[in-house]
């Protein structure tokens, strides 16, 4: 094997023989604690259902089956495609306010986003690779339309900001630029093929510094909570249409900002994700997540 012939460069750090206290972790944890206020209330707003564009995209699984089948893909096949309406349907279920209210996307009234007690602060910049009927390129899902003007002013002047063909009226999805984004998506996600070999990948971009200033430092971990909820929706949507997905924890945030033209900290890339056809690793044993019928495996 070639591995034995590799030349080692540098000196590896030795693992500590005892616990090392990293003070910055505890300092940060204290700084982002939410202060308890006597007048804090949790209002239960009227439930708003999610939009429907292509119910036929789903494979007829029950919610129980989808949740139990949910796995993180370890690799994407680079060939699987989805239809444009299927892509739009997935995006509709990523909206916080659902549909039919006649208001802009902002308040988190649809499941599961209504579990979060603040207006949506996380958006998605999308790298579309293999969506039939939708040009390859860079797109943006605006999950809080109060931010739309600020986003347009903060990003590159040459971006189109146009609704793509066939896009549902109540879906605030915009085409920014047409281009084959496979290579750049891969580079942005630490050169991982999984970001370029799916149907699409995305970066979750938060309305960052203004949110921390207006609400407090305690919103910092909650922005990550919101990316987590959005990621879980994408996981379930992918499995419901017969493909798979996975979060991408390693990415270069500054180059993401550079591609979008973002400067400063008003918007911040917090997490990456990819959706596509999975490559099953036969070396890994796949067992049911919970004890139950064999159909759940």
The full set of domain ranges for the chain reads 62-290
pLDDT over threshold 70, residue 132: yes
Phi-psi region of 295 (alpha: psi -120 to 50; beta: other; left: phi over 0): alpha
**What's the pLDDT at 175?**
98
The dihedral through the CA atoms of 99, 166, 125, 249 has a sign that is: positive
Residue range 155-162: mean pLDDT, rounded: 96
Q: Single out the residue of 15, 31, 34, 12 nearest to residue 23, CA to CA.
A: 31
The CATH number of domain 62-290 is 3.40.109.10: yes
247 token code pair: 């979060």
Confidence class for position 271, pLDDT limits 50, 70, 90 = very high
List pLDDT tens digits, range 134-156.
Answer: 999 999 999 999 999 999 999 99
17-76: per-residue pLDDT in tens? 888 889 999 999 999 998 887 666 666 778 888 888 888 888 888 888 888 888 899 999
**Residue 120's closest CA among 223, 50, 200?**
223
Distance of CA 102 to the CA centre of its chain: 25
Residues 6+ apart with CB under 8 A from 118: 108, 215, 219, 222
83: nearest Cα among 174, 200, 244: 200
The token pair at 210 is 């203004």
Residue 196 has a CB neighbour count (10 Å cut-off) of 24
Establish whether the linkage from the previous residue to 201 is cis, with ω within 30° of 0.
Answer: no
Say which residues have a Cβ less than 8 Å from residue 61's Cβ, sequence separation at least 6. 69, 239, 240
């Amino acid at each position: 094997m070639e591995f034995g012939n590799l030349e080692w460069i540098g000196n590896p750090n030795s693992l500590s023989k005892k616990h090392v206290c990293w003070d910055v972790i505890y300092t940060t944890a204290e700084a982002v604690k939410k202060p308890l206020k006597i007048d804090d209330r949790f209002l239960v707003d009227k439930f708003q259902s999610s939009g429907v564009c292509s119910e036929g995209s789903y494979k007829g699984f029950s919610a129980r089956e989808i949740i139990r089948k949910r796995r993180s893909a370890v690799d994407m096949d680079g060939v699987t495609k989805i239809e444009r309406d299927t892509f739009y349907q997935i995006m509709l279920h990523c909206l916080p306010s659902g549909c039919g209210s006649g208001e802009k996307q902002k308040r988190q009234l649809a499941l599961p986003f209504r579990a979060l007690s603040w207006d949506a602060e996380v958006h998605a910049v999308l790298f579309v690779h293999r969506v039939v009927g939708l040009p390859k390129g860079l797109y943006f899902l605006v999950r809080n339309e109060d931010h739309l003007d600020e986003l347009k002013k903060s990003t590159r002047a040459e971006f189109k900001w146009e609704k793509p063909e066939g896009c549902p009226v109540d879906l605030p999805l915009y085409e920014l630029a047409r281009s084959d984004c496979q290579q750049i998506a891969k580079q942005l996600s630490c050169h991982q093929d999984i970001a370029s070999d799916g149907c699409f990948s995305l970066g979750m971009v938060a309305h960052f510094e203004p949110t921390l200033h207006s609400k407090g430092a305690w919103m910092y971990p909650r922005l990550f909570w919101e990316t987590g909820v959005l990621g879980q929706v994408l996981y379930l949507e992918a499995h419901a249409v017969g493909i798979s997905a996975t979060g991408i924890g390693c990415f270069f945030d500054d180059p993401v900002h550079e591609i979008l033209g973002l400067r400063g900290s008003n918007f911040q890339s917090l997490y990456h994700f990819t959706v596509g056809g999975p490559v099953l690793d036969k070396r890994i044993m796949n067992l049911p997540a919970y004890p139950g019928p064999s159909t759940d495996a």
